[in-house]
Amino acid sequence: MREEAGKEGAEASGQRPGDLDPATRTSVLRQAWSVGIATGAYGISFGALGVASGLSVAQTCALSLLMFTGGSQFAFVGVIGAGGTGVAAIATATLLGIRNGLYGLQVSEFLHDRGWRRGVAAHLTIDESTAVGIAQPTVRASQLGFWQTGIAVFVFWNLFTLLGAWLGNALGDPRRWGLDAAAAAAFVALLWPRLHSRDAAATAVVAVVLTVAVAPWAPAGIPVLIAAFAAVAVGLWPRAAARDDDSTGGEVAP
Amino acid sequence: MSLWFTVLAACALAFLTKLAGHYVPSAKLEGRRMRRVTALLPVALLTSLVVIQTFAASGGGFTVDARIVGLAAAVIALLLRAPFIVVVIIGAAVAAGLRALGWN
């Protein structure tokens, strides 16, 4: 569906869109920056939760700058805040980040950057930049969509993280402001758009069972890792070839 | 393990995961079943995090407090198609309101 051939000069990233017609360019830019602002805005909740979980303002901001993948960041501070070990926090965040690797496979088909630009592109490879990028009709528009969305989310996500961390620090006791419930709400909001297939629903049910079974005796952080086996069990479950739900979804989550 | 080391190690792994996707040739994509597992992985982890974040007691084990009502309000907000930030604010506000009224 995307015209791959005859796109000479595809080296140029979205920042130099070349021959893209003005109407398409405007539409891609509008899409990219509205997604960027909307997504970036809830960096404020990440910032507040980060300091509520015991991280410093600098550590919270470092996660947004350097990890830059919302789901993993929320999971990391969630495990740390619950008293989990560093290893459990790292493992949970990394498992949640695996999908970014799969996005990298997809977007590298239309991004033809080399050298340091490829490294930057990799850093900006998240749900939103991938979703906007692959939704475009041409390679040029895809490149523009990916880069502009990635940059827009990066700018706003980090600004709002700083604001949230600073506010969270000033607020004092996080429980009084319901910040612990905010974390639960954030996770359920991240989960919501991914629950549209039967496989996903089955995985969620198994994950609940595993978590409830393990949590009473396992150290903090471990139940989440054990719940990962729900994905393995459902994903490898033998099934008729006809029923092959698409459970990737989640393109609106960070 | 210092918290800074943990933060930076997790960041490095997140970046390497992203980078790997850009360097692995797409022909090397694993089979259909493995892709299904990796697609379902966020569902399993996020579901578990919802349970933990709602019920985990500070001293270990599970407890029921204002968080469950906050979560229920968040789910209602999602059913009404509220955007992410609104869902989070509603979850926090409901729990904070209950605590202000004296229910923990």
Cross-chain residue pair B21–A102, CB shorter than 8 Å:
yes
A101, A109, A203: residue with CB nearest B44: A203
DSSP of chain A: --B-TT-TTTTS-TTS-TT--HHHHHHHHHHHHHHHHHHHHTHHHHHHHHHHTT--HHHHHHIIIII--HHHHHHHHHHHHTT--HHHHHHHHHHHHHHHHHHHHHHTTT----THHHHHHHHT-SHHHHHHHHTSSBHHHHHHHHHHHHHHHHHHHHHHHHHHHHHHHHH--TTTTTHHHHHHHHHHHHHGGG--SHHHHHHHHHHHHHHHHHTTTSPTTHHHHHHTHHHHHHHHS---TT--------TT--
Residue B62, φ and ψ in degrees, nearest 5: -110, 155
pLDDT at A13 over 90: no
| Residue A244, pLDDT score | 47
B45, B58, B62: residue with CB nearest A75: B45
Bigger pLDDT: A134 or A3? A134
Q: Can you tell me the distance from the alpha carbon of A174 to that of B91, in angstroms, rounded to the nearest whole number?
A: 13
The whole-number average pLDDT for the span A210-216 is 92
Cross-chain residue pair A185–B43, CB shorter than 8 Å:
no
Q: Can you tell me the distance from the alpha carbon of B6 to that of A70, in angstroms, rounded to the nearest whole number?
A: 17
The pLDDT > 70 percentage for chain A reads 87
| Per-window interface: A 138-167 vs B, CB < 8 A | none
The pLDDT > 90 percentage for chain A reads 52
CB pairs under 8 A between A and B: 317
Domain ranges of chain A: 22-195
pLDDT at A5 over 90: no
Cross-chain residue pair B40–A184, CB shorter than 8 Å:
no
Q: Can you tell me the distance from the alpha carbon of B49 to that of B60, in angstroms, rounded to the nearest whole number?
A: 15
Give the residue from A195, A203, A193, A201 showing the smallest Cα distance to A232: A203
CA of B29 vs chain A CAs: smallest distance (Å): 8
Q: What is the dihedral of CA A30, A32, A38, A41, to 10 degrees?
A: -120
Q: Can you tell me the distance from the alpha carbon of A63 to that of A23, in angstroms, rounded to the nearest whole number?
A: 36
Beta bridge partners of B56: B62
Lowest-pLDDT range of A80-94, B31-45, B61-75: B31-45
Cα separations (Å) of A9 from A90, A112, B30?
A: 39, 9, 31
DSSP of A24-72: HHHHHHHHHHHHHHHHHHTHHHHHHHHHHTT--HHHHHHIIIII--HHH
Cross-chain residue pair A41–B8, CB shorter than 8 Å:
no
**Per-residue pLDDT tens digits for B6-58:** 999 999 999 999 999 998 865 555 677 777 888 898 899 899 989 998 998 87
| Residue B27, pLDDT score | 55
Model-level ipTM above the cut of 0.85? yes
Give the three-state DSSP class for B66: helix
Cβ-based contacts of B54 with chain A (< 8 Å): 181, 184
**Per-residue pLDDT tens digits for A147-197:** 999 999 999 999 999 999 999 888 878 788 888 898 899 889 989 988 989
Residue A3, φ and ψ in degrees, nearest 5: -80, 110
Beta carbons of A109 and B83 less than 8 angstroms apart: no
Q: Can you tell me the distance from the alpha carbon of B12 to that of B20, in angstroms, rounded to the nearest whole number?
A: 12
The whole-number average pLDDT for the span A34-61 is 91
pLDDT at A124 over 60: yes
pLDDT at A18 over 70: no
Q: Can you tell me the distance from the alpha carbon of B49 to that of B22, in angstroms, rounded to the nearest whole number?
A: 29
B73 in the Ramachandran plot: left (φ > 0), alpha (ψ -120 to 50) or beta? alpha
The pTM score is 0.76
Q: Taking the CB of residue B73, how many other CB atoms lie within 10 A of it?
A: 21
Residue A6's pLDDT band (cuts 50, 70, 90): very low
Nearest chain A residue to B63 by CA distance is A216
The whole-number average pLDDT for the span A103-124 is 92
The whole-number average pLDDT for the span A41-55 is 91
Beta carbons of A153 and A36 less than 8 angstroms apart: yes
Give the three-state DSSP class for B62: strand
Cross-chain residue pair B84–A194, CB shorter than 8 Å:
no
| Residue B30, pLDDT score | 60
The whole-number average pLDDT for the span A135-147 is 92
pLDDT at A233 over 90: yes
Give the residue from B42, B44, B62 showing the smallest Cα distance to B53: B62
A229 in the Ramachandran plot: left (φ > 0), alpha (ψ -120 to 50) or beta? alpha
Nearest chain B residue to A69 by CA distance is B14
The whole-number average pLDDT for the span A25-29 is 91
| Residue A248, pLDDT score | 43
| Residue A240, pLDDT score | 60
